[in-house]
Chains A and B, each alone.
Chain A
Amino acid sequence: MSLYETDPINVIIAGTGGQGNILISKLLGDAMLEEDHWVTIGETYGASQRGGSVASHVRISGEAPCSPITPRGAAHLVLGLEPVEALRVLALYGGPGTYVVTNVRPVHPMAVAIGEAAYPTLEAIKQTIGELSRKAMYLDASQIGINLGAPLLANMVMMGALVGCGFIPLERERLERQLEALFQTEKLALNLKAFRLGLAEIEKAYGRVHFKSRKGGNR
């Protein structure tokens, strides 16, 4: 049975190697599995794995397993851990109806660091993301992570933003329980804090995009 107006739901988490997008895809996937959905997660890589682009495709269906790569134009939500990667994935798999939630802190590719390529300005990135999406939301997840003492916590901030944007029918409590199962006491407090800050930040700035659920009477 199809649970939502859209089936499957396609979420792509875009980032670079080492940013922790595989952890987000697993947390999201496990949460949807607990809701008795079919979940398929695939990863696509850019030129490499060491420091290269990594995109995790999370496809959620009430009916059947999906292919591990999203067809062009079929992404519903791009969660960017890095702004240029959000744009890259949006341009590859997005469509006019795609939502984007992205961290604004760049990770410069080697070509940029050595002056062989330019990194676009945040304004240029935002403008193109705006043209290629239905709605885009931005936050400085890395800064929130750094304020908490570890830039890597940006992935938990973005996990919070994913729940906070309201696009995916994800319960905050379910995610928090998963984090409790995943992390030990000391790390747990920090990760929970990052998760809650990301969630609050996106809700405060943008409000919730209420995803239409057939359960909710939109039939």
Chain B
Amino acid sequence: MSMDFDAIVVGSGITGGWAAKELTEKGLKVLMIERGRMIEHGTDYVTETKAPWEMEFRGEGDAELYAREYPVQRLNRHFTEFTQNHFVNDKDNPYAVAEGTQFNWWRSYQMGGRSLTWGRQSYRWSDYDFGANKADGYGTDWPIRYADVAPWYDHVEDFIGVSGAAEGLPSLPDGKFLPPMALNVVEQHVRQAIAQKWPDRCLTVGRTANLTAPKEGRAPCQYRSICARGCSYGAYFSTQSSTLPAAKKTGRLTVITDSLVEAVDYDPVRKKASGVRVLNVKTGARTRYGARLVFLNASAFNSVHILLRSRSDAFPNGLANSSGVLGTHIMDHASTLSTMAIMPGFDDRTSFGNRPTGVVIPRFRNLDRKDGDFTRGYSYQGGALQSGWTAAKRSAGIGKDFKAATRKVGPWRMVFVGFAESLPRATNRLTLDPVKLDPQGLPMLNIHFAHGDNERRALTDAKKEAAAMMEAAGGHVIMGFDEPGIGGSAIHEMGGARMGHDPQSSVLNRWSQAHDVPNLFVTDGAQMSSSACQNPSLTYMALTARACDHAVTLMKEGTL
């Protein structure tokens, strides 16, 4: 096979874009392969400036179509008539779940992947997180610690632009932030009330990959908060706004779209990956591409799916799976609306603009002492807002008085959504379905996932503490839940090709490099050995940049 490229990057989302940027900037000739369609920055954001009255279903979308073709995607709050073209069609992209289980797998198969639709929350992990598996024995010990990743967090934040406030919290390390977006009047009040009663708890504005200052050809945030439609200002980090132009600028990037990687080829003589087999999903044509280096960035479950499909005599159970743990220990976060409260006393105040981030209360449980009846922790995201016209749907009344009341800004309300750490469990795993085939004729991915008792105990505590904090700030709690949403609902699915010290019990080493196949790297969510309780994307990016640096170092040394 000819070595057409120095490196192949499978996937163009958050980490695929990073791999392409880093590898091309280090001089490699890179092929980036995307299974979905091309979406050009700006010109292809076709709904970006539409008003509801310009949409056939006023932004709500065609419920009948959604029930037939988007039964899972439609359950995502960010899936609307404005954004439906940035999510997969479930009918055309089926997956199986184990009997008696459910999993909401929210996906975006397109240039940019979920970098177009992500929540943009960007948090560093701390050593409470990287040390968690070793401390309580769940999962396998991470072979890295904060000090290994910290310079790469710097590197990533510098490039993507993360706005946030430095708070000096051990559980949520500060980064290199752009100026923070301000708390609104109610959030500011609640922050103070919480700090007064619980000095170890901090409400701060969400650290978000939205620019509060111009950056390398990207304009600052316009406070529309319609990011998932695509942002032609380039004000939030996406592949299109950031990493793709950087990679293209090198002149060393080749991109192909509508191209599904069926498998990674393995050369048993050289004991290395030799390239990938690609199916053009539009024409049905099959092509092989060779490279000295393969990076899998297809999203956690899809990267595992590719490895499981990549069976050979040398690896009959999937490539890089001599350990047998490939596909196991998948995670999400257990999340639910912990509390919603009416916040009186601010009815003469309001705000202007739509801030594209909420607030966060970082983990405070089980840090330096065990103060919860569960292991690890949870964090909250949420915010305070004033009701708009949709509140009228829940209100009695008709006629001109009703119309006049609906015109006015409604009362302040505040919500905290709890995110509990998902423990890595061998029973939560991905397999190839033994029977079902997907439309390409490949074995379908089968997802077996369930939250456990630890997550439930954490969310029970999260509900209780959320209510206590709202009440301490003068809020009237109107509802709260402690039962986690269906797996996948946090859209933080991860794991399946975990990092670890031991090739017998992990897929990847400390460099996101397959123990079994030295020129194969998996740097998306699949590499995660634990889930922490904060959003993982920033860590995926940092680990991707770190892995690229290591891979190129090895290539230059001649060991790859």
Our verdict on whether A and B bind, yes or no, reads no
Interface residues of A (CB under 8 A from B): none
